[in-house]
Every structure is written in structure tokens, then in C-alpha cells.
């Protein structure tokens, strides 16, 4: 399976990061979203992040110019049909992902590999709604994509060996490392990371520590680069809650019960950095704990 053209659905935080690394690795990228504003914003972010890499001597100006030249955009989902690999990086909601695949299927080449960047939803279940479960995989990049080295590869029950091997080669060409995960709720990284974040929220909820003391304890006591509450704000509290719900529903174990305080913050619309308020308030010069 030769993969040269890559279609990406969603130009948001994950989608534009994925487009960035693919274009830099020499792939032709077609980026799709539902609004021109989202596409323009995505290209602006890619340009800014490539320029940062140039300023730090990670890549040359020629590399940046060539990468930008390989990225094109479209508002028409059907245009992605002629690509060799499609990566869906839309909102973490199963109904949205299923609707995208349904609209895309009639336009795909028989050989196109379909993938989802989902961080927690069943790959087997997503694949079963398509016409090519054997050519369907979970392709989970970490955020921020240009910096993080890991890509989780998740096989559904029907995924065939050539599809898996093709994606292992893609990850190698991107200069990243792949980790194979079985198709169980939240895979590897989020299966371990999200309960830790949820436990940090419980520690706050129960008054064991303040936002500041919890984050400082994990940074200085466990050598974590970011505290768990700071990290939750970076990821998005709505995303954290969605993944905890997938774990709780999928594994039916009370240890995965989302903390009521996490639910309350999401209900308030305090989702972290993207809304300027979460466990920290980001509206001023420096972040201020909200509890």
C-alpha cells in the first residue's frame, strides 16, 4: 500500500497538527472542515508553528515553504475520496464521526485506508459502520502533534495485517514512534492518564489540596512536566469528561466514575484554556487558580 496523499477531516487543534507533520514528512495533504474560517485558522496555526520550528533551527526555511506548498484545503468532504489515507480528527462524539464516514464512503477509492484520531471511542464499532472494516484503524496522535513523539495504533477486530503494517511505516516516515494498543476503552495513554486527572479533581473536590498544591506536588514530587489540573485545562475539561464517561460506560467499574466537580466545571462552560477558564483563570497576565 503506497500512501502519498492524505486527507484530514477537521482543521482544529488536532487536525492542523496532523496536517503539519504529514506535510513536513513529504506527504500531500488535503485538509477539510465545514467552514472557511476554520480552514484559514488551521493554515495560520500551521504557518505559525512551522515558523517557530525555523526560528529554533529544527527545520530550514526551505522545509517550511515546501511543507506549506503540500497543504491544500477544501470545504467539500467528497474531495478527500481520492486520497490514499483519510484521518478523521473531528469532535470526540461518535455520532459526528459516524456521519462523516457515511458521507465520505461513496467517494472513496477501494484501496483507501480509513482512520480515526479518536482518543477513546471503539474502533471496532466505528469500523462496523463502514464498507471497509478491514481497512479501518485508530490513529491516535498526542497533543500538541508536532512535539509529541507517540502515535497509538489501534486495530479493530477486523483490521487486516497490511493496513496495520502500512500505518506503522507511515508513523516511521513521520519520525514518530508507534505503540500498538488493543481496542478497549481509551486504549493505553488515556486509560492511565485520565483516571489520574480524575483522581486529582477528586483530591481537589474533597479538600485534600488546593489547585496550586496538587499541581506543585505532582510536578515536584513525581517530576511531571505539568500538574494534572494544569494538564486537564490544556486538554479541555469537556474532553477529559467525555473520556471518563467512555471508560465508566465501557468498563462498568466505579473507579472510573467522573468526579462531580469535573462535571460541574463542564456544565459551567469552564473548559480550560480554550474558554479562558477551567481549574485556572487565564484572562489575566498569569493563570490564577479558580479554587
Cβ atoms of residues 86 and 57 within 8 Å: no
Please check if 15 is assigned to a binding site. Answer: yes
* H-type alpha helices, 105-160: 123-128
Q: Cell 477537521 appears where?
A: 10
Please check if 10 is assigned to a binding site. Answer: yes
Q: How far apart are CA 252 and CA 20, in angstroms?
A: 38
Residues with Cβ within 8 Å of residue 195, at least 6 apart in sequence? 244, 247, 255, 256
Q: Which helix (H) or strand (E) element contains residue 9?
A: strand 5-9
Please check if 61 is assigned to a binding site. Answer: no
Provide the annotated active-site residues.
119, 140, 152, 190
Please check if 13 is assigned to a binding site. Answer: yes
Please check if 274 is assigned to a binding site. Answer: yes
Please check if 218 is assigned to a binding site. Answer: no
Please check if 143 is assigned to a binding site. Answer: yes
- Our CA angle for 159, 92, 173, nearest 5°, is 50
Q: How far apart are CA 37 and CA 169, in angstroms?
A: 33
Please check if 94 is assigned to a binding site. Answer: no
Please check if 210 is assigned to a binding site. Answer: no
Annotated binding residues for NAD(+): 10-15, 33, 92, 97, 119, 143, 274
Binding-site residue set: 10-15, 33, 92, 97, 119, 143, 274
Amino acid at each position: 500500500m503506497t500512501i502519498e496523499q492524505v486527507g484530514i477531516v477537521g482543521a482544529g487543534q488536532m487536525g492542523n497538527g496532523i496536517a503539519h507533520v504529514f506535510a513536513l514528512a513529504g506527504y500531500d495533504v488535503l485538509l477539510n472542515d465545514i467552514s472557511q474560517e476554520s480552514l484559514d485558522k488551521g493554515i495560520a496555526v500551521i504557518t505559525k508553528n512551522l515558523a517557530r520550528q525555523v526560528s529554533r533551527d529544527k527545520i530550514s526555511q526551505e522545509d517550511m515553504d515546501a511543507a506549506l506548498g503540500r497543504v491544500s484545503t477544501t470545504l467539500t468532504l467528497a474531495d478527500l475520496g481520492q486520497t490514499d489515507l483519510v484521518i478523521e480528527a473531528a469532535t470526540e462524539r461518535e455520532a459526528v464521526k459516524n456521519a462523516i464516514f457515511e458521507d465520505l464512503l461513496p467517494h472513496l477509492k477501494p484501496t483507501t485506508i480509513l482512520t480515526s484520531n479518536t482518543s477513546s471511542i471503539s474502533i471496532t464499532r466505528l469500523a462496523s459502520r463502514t464498507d471497509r472494516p478491514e481497512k479501518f484503524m485508530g490513529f491516535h496522535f498526542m497533543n500538541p502533534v508536532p512535539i509529541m513523539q507517540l502515535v497509538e495504533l489501534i486495530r479493530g477486530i477486523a483490521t487486516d495485517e497490511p493496513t496495520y503494517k502500512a500505518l506503522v511505516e507511515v508513523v516511521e516516515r513521520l519520525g514518530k514512534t508507534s505503540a500498538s494498543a488493543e481496542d478497549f476503552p481509551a486504549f493505553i495513554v488515556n486509560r492511565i492518564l485520565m483516571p489520574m486527572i480524575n483522581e486529582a479533581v477528586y483530591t481537589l473536590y474533597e479538600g485534600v489540596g488546593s489547585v496550586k498544591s496538587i499541581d506543585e506536588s505532582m510536578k515536584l514530587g513525581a517530576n511531571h512536566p505539568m500538574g494534572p489540573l494544569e494538564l486537564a485545562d490544556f486538554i479541555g475539561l469537556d474532553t477529559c469528561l467525555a473520556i471518563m464517561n467512555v471508560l465508566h460506560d465501557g468498563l462498568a467499574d466505579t473507579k472510573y466514575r467522573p468526579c462531580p466537580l469535573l462535571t460541574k466545571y463542564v456544565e459551567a462552560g469552564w473548559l480550560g484554556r480554550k474558554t479562558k477558564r477551567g481549574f485556572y483563570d487565564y484572562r489575566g497576565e498569569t493563570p490564577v487558580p479558580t479554587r
